[in-house]
Amino acid sequence: MKSNFKNKKLTDQYEQPSDVFQMWLLFDHEPVRPDEAVLKAALEAKCGKVDTIASSTELTSFGVKRYTSRIKDNDIPAQVMLGNIMPFRQKDITAAERAQIRDIEDRDTFLSKCTHKIAATDMMAALDTEHRTKLLMNWLEVVVDVFKDCIAVWVPSGGKLIPADLIRSGKVEKQDRFVCYCVNARFFKIENTDEMLVDTHGMCAVGLKDVQCHFKGLDPDNVINYIYNIAFFVMQFGDQIKNGDTIEGLNGDTIDENVLWTCRYEDAMVAPMRAVLDICPGEYAAGERE
């Protein structure tokens, strides 16, 4: 992995926001598909009035009237969908993706027990990031609650695997749900150096900047927790941090207002190609920055 920041320019060859945001429910047996009426009642309890768009043994979709987009002078409700029950193949989650899974212990053994999957998605959701992520997280909570035998959720856009019971617990604050459930903080050790990189993956799927920090001499676990905190801020407040701004940095495992780290927008160091908010950790910075 190259660690040189010189001459890096923002490019338009970025991973783009997903038109259809996929969240895969995983099972250790073939689940039973719920009736449309059960799903509709659960969704209305969470989101208010909905219309059934499609209902079959392979696809169920609803228009959610609380979340509308103005398209050609018409208010169009955003749609959520539940796909067909499908076999889960072990190759559906690659070795590289598995290496970054931290929320489930003994990930390979856990995944070896998974046999089936079903996709919960949005569609025609021309919403801003705030409303789209609220809709997605409400829908995820609905389907995980209805499918009480779902054991985990895999979000491919962020490479995030989480236990379904975390979602059911209700312990995650509403404004933090998307980052907790759909955004992964990845860790990379740069070969033949003492340099390390932590980045987030999954923010770009909903039109926000991912975050990265290229460093040495810091505890990577502390940096991972720090990067998640910055991701929570970006999710809540958007792109308020500008090129050259300073933000509070780390003092050991604590965010310290007396430690200031500089931010700038860069191309991501690790694929997929995307714009990221790069945080330069002062004396702990690795690589070359102009």
What is the structure's pLDDT at 12?
52
What's the pLDDT tens digit per position in 188-223?
A: 999 999 999 999 999 999 999 999 999 999 999 999
| Angle between helices 129-146 and 36-47 in degrees, nearest 10 | 140
How confident is the model at residue 2, as a pLDDT?
Answer: 41
Q: Please tell me the predicted confidence (pLDDT) of residue 13.
A: 67
What's this model's pTM, rounded to 2 decimal places?
Answer: 0.91
Q: What is the pLDDT of residues 224-246, one digit of tens each?
A: 999 999 999 999 999 899 999 99
Is residue 6 scored above 70 in pLDDT? Answer: no
pLDDT above 90 for 80: yes
pLDDT tens-digit profile of 34-61? 999 999 999 999 999 999 999 999 999 9
**Two tokens, residue 206:** 């909903």
Non-local CB neighbours of 20 within 8 Å, separated by 6+ positions: 121, 122, 123
Q: pLDDT by residue (tens digit) across 263-285?
A: 999 999 999 999 999 999 999 99
CB 229 within 8 A of CB 223: no
Digit-coded pLDDT (tens) for 104-161: 999 999 999 999 999 999 986 689 999 999 999 999 999 999 999 999 999 999 999 9
Mean pLDDT of the chain: 93
Residue 11 has pLDDT above 80, yes or no: no
- Phi then psi for residue 152, to 5 deg, are -160, 165
Query: Is residue 190 a contact partner of residue 5, using CB atoms and an 8 Å limit?
Result: no
At 15 the pLDDT is 72
